[in-house]
Amino acid sequence: MNTSRSHDFFITGTDTEIGKTFSSSALLQAFGQRGLSTIGMKPIASGAELRDGQWHNEDVDSLMAASSVQASPSLVCPYLMQTPAAPHIVAKQENVTISLPHILASYQQLTSAAEAVIVEGVGGFCVPLNDQVDTADLAQQLNLPVILVVGLRLGCINHALLTAQAIRARGLHVAAWIANTVDTQMLYLQDNIDAIQQRIAAPMLGHIPRLNGNTTDNMKTAATYLNVDILK
């Protein structure tokens, strides 16, 4: 798939639990604040709870809350699985067949509803989805510019550079990266950011600090730390 849409991006991270969803939500808010209609998409999500007769995933709910356009949950997350574990394992357990063409078709439908579609991957960049494909294959088929979320904690320099290398090895463009504070006690935090900036060959979209407050306020505040104008 090839797209000329200038505000659609694939969001990946240096690991799981490093702020991909929060950064994606902040990006949706930032584009929304600039007058664009937005939709967040998380094609595969593992871990759901039943509320009021419907299965909910925290990440998917956050993306939908940050979006200015409300789309069908089945398009926002074509594959919502119950167990919070590696998707290829859970898919086998729950008899789910993850199909990249189905994800691509869902993404295409979302593009007709919003000017900016932010597609968040699952886990890191090379997470298996089944025995044949992984999230890197998904990113490659979407063929969107990639924004890398780097969780700031010990080891992040190596993780950031290796992930950027893997993205480029798939022929994809690293449009920018986001520094997200995971470990507030990290030693030499700014030195780590500087080291990544010097080596990653992509602009830093912003540094999101650890924020206190409710989720909605935090998303709006985080958006102010992102300079999305560099993505134009």
Tokens 């439908």 map to which residue? 109
Of these residues, 20, 42, 92, 232, which one is catalytic? 42
* Ordered alpha helix ranges (H), 77-199: 87-93, 100-111, 135-142, 156-169, 189-199
Taking the alpha carbons of 41, 79, 64, 135 in that order, is the dihedral positive or negative? negative
H-helix or E-strand spanning residue 48 = none
* Backbone φ and ψ of 145, nearest 5°: -60, 145
Annotated catalytic, 232?
no
Yes or no: say if 111 and 117 are a contact pair by the CB < 8 Å rule.
Answer: yes
* Backbone φ and ψ of 21, nearest 5°: -65, -45
Q: Could you give the residue numbers annotated as active site?
A: 42
